[in-house]
Structure 1
Amino acid sequence: MLNLKSTLSALWLATLAWGTARAEEDNVKSIPLRTHSLSQPYLDSDMQSRWYDFGGDTIIRTDQYIRLTSDYPSQSGWLFSRVPLTATNWEVEVEFKIHGKNQLYGDGFAMWITKERGKIGPVFGSADRFEGLGIFFDTYKNNRPGVVFPYVMAMVGDGQKSYDKDTDGKNSEFAGCSARGIRHASVPTKFRLTYFQDKYLKLELQYKSEGEWTLCFETNQPPAIPQVAYLGFSAETGELSDNHDIISIEAKNLYHAQPTGGKSTPGSGRGKKVASPKEGGSWTWFFTKIFLFFLVIGGGYVGYTAWRANNKRSHRF
């Protein structure tokens, strides 16, 4: 009977933990960040972007893409926000495309959250010894035995640390994952980077099937982001080449809604109405009740079985 009680207690604690995690996840709200989002036609009437600068070999097709590099050797291009990303918690979802006509290709592209902006350099088309966060989509393997490429890697820069291209940044890797199939994928390729200050950093990829997000990495010890940091993208080709396209950028400011209703003031989201439990959590509560119902039924069955076994043993004597 002691084992039964322990099992039921463990199940109950797991249910509470699951419910708490679900409630916290449902409690996260978002506000679009227009200053860091970008979509077709990308440019304003004066053929400039209000919120982004671009340079190097970057070209823009207003009805299709922002091409950081074309499928030619020795190209470098960049795209950087004009204003810093000041949100404490944020999410950036990017649709991109890596493709080309050659069987051998390289080198890759990067996303940046850094103090520097718009500087051509040797790290996927941008400056080395950066301060901030870089996410590298590396398509060409130099020297990393046992690692499948393309490889997606995060690096945290302190302004002094250098990226070693010869080892594909092995010694400076913060987190990463292999992403075979991300080039020439049959579905729109996307990544989603979510950052909660002092809580977690998570990178998800979509390249296997549309609507299916694959976790690349997640950590509950996120790096510190500089207070003044710009969102940017860059790419480069060497002797080998590829097209590196940005299709769209969707940035959001994230915040936890107040649990008691009323109005919430998440920075620029002042005055946003918080959804009531009936509006936002009804399905979660419904499935929780179903889970608890079957938990009680299962516990009762286990208890009854144990009682019968006990009873039979007592009748033998």
Structure 2
Amino acid sequence: MIWASALIFITALSSGVCDDGHEMEEFLKREYTLSKPYQDVGVSGSSHWELMGDALVSSDYVRLTPDQQSKQGAIWSRMPCHLSDWELQVHFRVHGQGKKNLNGDGLAVWYTKERMQRGPVFGNRDFFTGLGVFVDTYPNEEKLLEAQKKRYTPRTQRIFPYVLAMVGNGSISYDHDRDGRPTELGGCNAMVRNQKHETFLFIRYVRRRLTVMMDIDGQHEWRDCLDVPGVRLPQGFYFGASAVTGDLSDNHDLISMKLYQLTILRSKQEDEEQEEVLVPSVDNIDLLRPPVDEESVSSVGIFFSVLFTLLGVFLLVVVGLVLYEHWSESRRKRFY
């Protein structure tokens, strides 16, 4: 089958040598792998995976949401992952009756401290702790600005569906109205809807470098989406996937999630420098205070500049009037 051949191709690509030249071996971790025939998933407590919300299992996929309004569903690993370097291959499909941008809202792949919690971020909780990779299929910011009759400038325009990544430490919120733009680590457009073939999402975390790639054309070719060094993720978090629909909808089908342990040959010095990570972070990015949009900063700056200028002029006028009255009074006294 086509998808089976694609999986073989993906596995072959993900072994061998890291981007930084280090030799690497990979091992499939079955306890963190979801694949057909989804034995006991959502039925027995003995399964490694647990369903939530509107998610259901068929013989060919785990449907996170049906193509219906106001649905949300998820699937979560029951076991925390204690690997320092790993690679996650996600095989999924997004399809529905909606055309162009009349569909939504999207799905997410998670590696987080929290699990099995409903929320507004693609069916998961906000203020999460860990990594979220989002396949966003609806341009909320663009539609919001259109409704407010504001111009959507090319500088900020995206093509949807759009894939992006975010690292949270439990204290920052995903900005739904702005499609996650303030906290985005990087992203790319990915036309994943209503394809005749399934889509593959590749997430690699090795030597504190986060890499996301896509195969959306069915040509067995990876396309770079984002590559971010200095990402620090603690061990012991949970893998999961979730999806949500609102007034618009789609089928969000998860076909497989396969986790590989990556074994990297490190020097003795590198092993000694490998300190334990307790809180998610990204080098040179303050996760306690999300980035502020430059346009917003400029508007606020102009407002306060004008305000203080007017106050200064008013103060000068008042002082001038007081001095003038004092001078007039003194002048009158000299003549009388």
TM-score between the two structures when normalised by the length of structure 1:
0.70
Superposed displacement of residue 30, structure 1: 0.6
Residue of structure 2 equivalent to 1:75: 71
Q: Which has the larger radius of gyration?
A: 2
Aligned residue in 2 for 1:185: 195
1:47 Cα deviation from its structure 2 partner = 3.4
Task: Name the counterpart of 1:227.
Answer: 235
Q: Given residue 52 of structure 1, which amino acid in structure 2 is its aligned partner?
A: W
Equivalenced residues, count: 235
| CA drift at 1:44 | 2.8
Cα 1:256–1:183 shift into 2, 3 Å: same
Which whole-Å deviations, capped at 9, do the CAs of 1:203-222 have from their partners, x for residues lacking one? Answer: 0100023311111011222x
User: Structure 2 vs 1, CA of residues 46 and 134 (structure 1 numbering), >3 Å: closer, same or farther?
Assistant: closer
Contact 2:214/2:224, CA 8 A, preserved across alignment = yes
Does residue 148 (structure 1) correspond to residue 148 (structure 2)? The answer is no
For the Cα contact (< 8 Å) 1:32–1:253, is it kept in 2? yes
Q: Residues of 2 paired with 1:67 and 1:97: CA distance?
A: 9
Code of the aligned partner of 1:242 = D
Mapped pair 1:173 → 2:184: yes
What whole-Å deviation, never above 9, does each CA across 1:129-166 have from its counterpart, x for those lacking one? Answer: 00001001000001154111101010111101001111
8 A contact 1:197–1:224 mirrored in 2? no
Shift of residue 24, structure 1, vs aligned partner: 2.9
Instruction: Look up the equivalent residue of 1:250 and give its one-letter code.
Output: K
Give the structure-2-normalised TM-score: 0.66
Identity percentage of aligned residues: 40
3-state SS, counterpart of residue 143 of structure 1: helix
Name 1:208's counterpart in structure 2: 217
User: What is the CA–CA distance in structure 2 between the aligned matches of 1:116 and 1:45, rounded to whole Å?
Assistant: 20
Q: What displacement does 1:201 show?
A: 1.1
Matched, 1:160 2:171: yes
Over the residues paired in the alignment, what is the CA RMSD in angstroms?
2.0
Select which of 246, 258, 271 maps to 1:250.
Answer: 258
Contact 2:42 2:50 in 1 (8 A): no
Instruction: Work out the CA distance in 2 between the residues paired with 1:148 and 1:166.
Output: 16
Residue number in structure 2 paired with 1:84: 80
Cα gap change, 1:47 to 1:204, in 2 (>3 Å)? same
Report SS of the residue matched to 2:90. strand
Q: Superposition pairs for residues 5-24 of structure 1, below 5 Å?
A: 24=21
Asked if 1:195 corresponds to 2:191, the answer is: no
**Quick one: distance in 1 between partners of 2:31 and 2:126?**
26
Q: 1:1-317 to 2 correspondence within 5 Å?
A: 24=21, 27-44=23-40, 47-48=43-44, 50-61=47-58, 63-103=59-99, 104-144=102-142, 145-179=156-190, 181-198=191-208, 200-221=209-230, 223-257=231-265
Distance (whole Å) between structure 2 residues aligned to residue 95 and residue 66 of structure 1: 11
Which residue identity does 2:50 align to in structure 1? D
Question: What amino acid maps onto 2:177 in structure 1?
Answer: D
CA spacing shift, 1:227–1:149, aligned 2, 3 Å = same
Do the aligned partners of residues 22 and 69 (structure 1) sit closer, same or farther apart at CA in structure 2, a change above 3 Å counting?
Answer: closer
Aligned-partner Cα distance in 2 for 1:216–1:45: 31
Three-state SS of the structure 2 residue aligned to 1:166 is coil
Post-superposition offset of 1:228: 2.1
Note the residue ranges of structure 1 that are not aligned, 5 or more in a row. 1-19, 260-317
3-state SS of the aligned residue for 1:123? Answer: coil
Partners of 1:133 and 1:156 within 8 A in 2: yes
Partner of 2:286: none
Alpha-carbon distance in 2 for matches of 1:46, 1:38: 12
Unaligned runs of 5+ in 2: 1-16, 143-155, 268-336
Distance of 2:42 and 2:167 partners within structure 1: 36
8 Å CA contact retained: 1:78, 1:125: yes
